[in-house]
Amino acid sequence: MSCTQGCKMGMASFKDKQPQGLRLLYATELTERIAFYTLQTLLILYMSEGLNLSDDRAYLLFGAYSALLYLTAVVGGYLADRFLGFQKAILFGGWLFVLSYLLLVIPDQHFFYLGLSVNIVANGLFKPNVTSILGELYEGPEDPRRDAGYTLFYMGINIGSLLPPLFLGGLILWFNWQGGFSLAVLAMLVAMWIFLKGRGQLKGAGGIPLASLYHHRGKKRVFLILFFSVITLVIFFLYLLLHFAAEVDLFVGVVSILFILMVLYLVFKEKGRERVRMGAALLLTIISTAFWTFYAQQPTSLVLFAKRNMRKELLGIPLDAEATLFFSPFFIILFCPLLSKLWLYLQHRRRDWSTPIKFAFGILLMALGFLILGIGTRFFGKEALLSPWWMIFCFAFQALGEVLLSPIGLSMITALSPHAHIGLMMGVWFLAQASAFALGGKLATFSTVLPRFTLEESLAVYSRAFLLFFWICFFFAVVAFLLAPLLNRMIHPKKTAL
């Protein structure tokens, strides 16, 4: 399926069955993701080749940046819940995104760290709140369109992530690294224009909370001054923290524990059914951490593997390391409309898979992707180079796993969380990814290749690493399957599900 076909299928579904505002959020997120995945595609290669960092240093910095990226989503969700509203948070975050990409265009290491710091804050305000608005467009948590709608929305995200790997290699060749970062600036400006032009389609969803200080003229000015002062201090703190990437794990761990304790406090404040369902959302979020830890290998260890030990040709067409990141979103776009229709089909016949079972299969498919690469590198590395088809099949399995877990997780958070805590719980969902990317950076160091290694030696390192990744991920898949019956009872106290 082409990108255009995927878009047409998505738009047809919007018109026929989904809320009108989904079209706006789909387009906004698609273009914002073009900007974001331009940075993601470039980052590990820019650190390795543009900044000449060692594998260990590059992996740890990437993991630290990615962890902090999702960690701020917790705070961004909370601020939107209590003070800003989802729409205002998106606007503030969007303009900070533009500023961050502009800073990255400047060819200087200090501006590189500063740009990443601003990008982290921008993501915290933007990403969780686009997803939270979508949840408000449906008619309650049992709306049968919800999982299908989130799957279509997720397809839009992956159309955005599919495009940059196709042409970034050529863009860098012609315009150096700064050409890629400039593309991110342009894409983010388009995203902001789309959102500002179409906000009326949301019909008030994601507005400023009634109890917010924003409604009090005298207090609004004080709040905004305080808000932007804190934002500036946080950016400066992150700038310093990124220089100590190895210590970020400890910071993320402490913050994660504090937020989990906060959520547990909120869980116990709820009563009856709401308490149990919110507890189920928290447990599923923790389970998802296993998936995202291994997903973090795609833009890190897998990209450097492709750079060193993959044949650079597919069907007679040149294929560089950047372009391999095309395949995961390509398969996600292929699978999303199919699974969206499947969920609706099964829902109407009351045979839908439960959310915990979808999560468990998602983690299992992630594990199988690494098994494919492990077998390929162990037995089929001709002249220490592996055919790109092995990576393509790996990405196909992992993309199917992602479609089973990620959009369903976004839907699950908005369905199981009390309305007053949706933004916070969406932030906790991204907090799980923060912890996962911090762990993923550490995990990637098992595939560290030293400059003196031959091709045969680097292939052996990757082979051992991929098989290790398989066994660890497979273990967590088994745990997820064993926990599924308990989680089903928590989500549907009076129902049984597959």
Is 365 a residue whose pLDDT tops 70?
Answer: yes
pLDDT more than 70, % of the chain: 92
Instruction: State residue 215's pLDDT score.
Output: 60
Instruction: State residue 9's pLDDT score.
Output: 45
What's the pTM?
A: 0.74
Q: What is the pLDDT of residues 285-338, one digit of tens each?
A: 889 999 999 998 988 899 889 988 899 888 888 888 878 888 888 898 888 788
Is 218 a residue whose pLDDT tops 90?
Answer: no
Q: Which residue has the higher pLDDT, 276 or 480?
A: 480
Radius of gyration of the chain (CA): 22
Query: What mean pLDDT do residues 218-237 have?
Result: 85
Instruction: State residue 2's pLDDT score.
Output: 38
Please tell me which of 222-231, 297-306, 358-367, 418-427 the model is most confident about, judged by mean pLDDT: 358-367
Q: Which residue has the higher pLDDT, 32 or 167?
A: 32
Is 451 a residue whose pLDDT tops 70?
Answer: yes
Q: Which residue has the higher pLDDT, 224 or 467?
A: 467
Q: Which residue has the higher pLDDT, 185 or 23?
A: 185
Domains of the chain: which residue ranges? 3-491
Going by pLDDT thresholds of 50, 70 and 90, the confidence category of residue 1 is very low
Q: What is the pLDDT of residues 109-133, one digit of tens each?
A: 899 999 999 999 999 889 878 877 8
Q: What is the pLDDT of residues 78-89, one digit of tens each?
A: 788 777 888 888
Is 231 a residue whose pLDDT tops 80?
Answer: yes
Instruction: State residue 478's pLDDT score.
Output: 96
Q: Which of 395, 245, 401 is nearest to 306 (CA)?
A: 395
CATH class of 3-491: mainly alpha
pLDDT more than 90, % of the chain: 27
Backbone CA torsion sign across 262, 267, 269, 274: positive
Going by pLDDT thresholds of 50, 70 and 90, the confidence category of residue 452 is confident
Going by pLDDT thresholds of 50, 70 and 90, the confidence category of residue 494 is low
Q: What is the 3-state secondary structure (H, E, C) of the chain?
A: CCHHHHHHHHHHHHHHCCCCHHHHHHHHHHHHHHHHHHHHHHHHHHHHHHCCCCHHHHHHHHHHHHHHHHHHHHHHHHHHHHHHHHHHHHHHHHHHHHHHHHHHHCCCHHHHHHHHHHHHHHHHHHHHHHHHHHHHCCCCCCCCCHHHHHHHHHHHHHHHHHCHHHHHHHHHHHHHHHHHHHHHHHHHHHHHHHHHHHHHHHCCCCCCCCCCHHHCHHHHHHHHHHHHHHHHHHHHHHHHHHHHHHHHHHHHHHHHHHHHHHHHHHHHHCCHHHHHHHHHHHHHHHHHHHHHHHHCCCCCHHHHHHHHHECCEECCEECCCHHHHHHHHHHHHHHHHHHHHHHHHHHHCCCCCCHHHHHHHHHHHHHHHHHHHHHHHHHCCECCEECHHHHHHHHHHHHHHHHHHHHHHHHHHHHHCCHHHHHHHHHHHHHHHHHHHHHHHHHHHHHCCCCCCCHHHHHHHHHHHHHHHHHHHHHHHHHHHHHHHHHHHHHCCCCCCC
Query: What mean pLDDT do residues 158-182 have?
Result: 79
Q: What is the pLDDT of residues 177-187, one digit of tens each?
A: 888 888 999 99
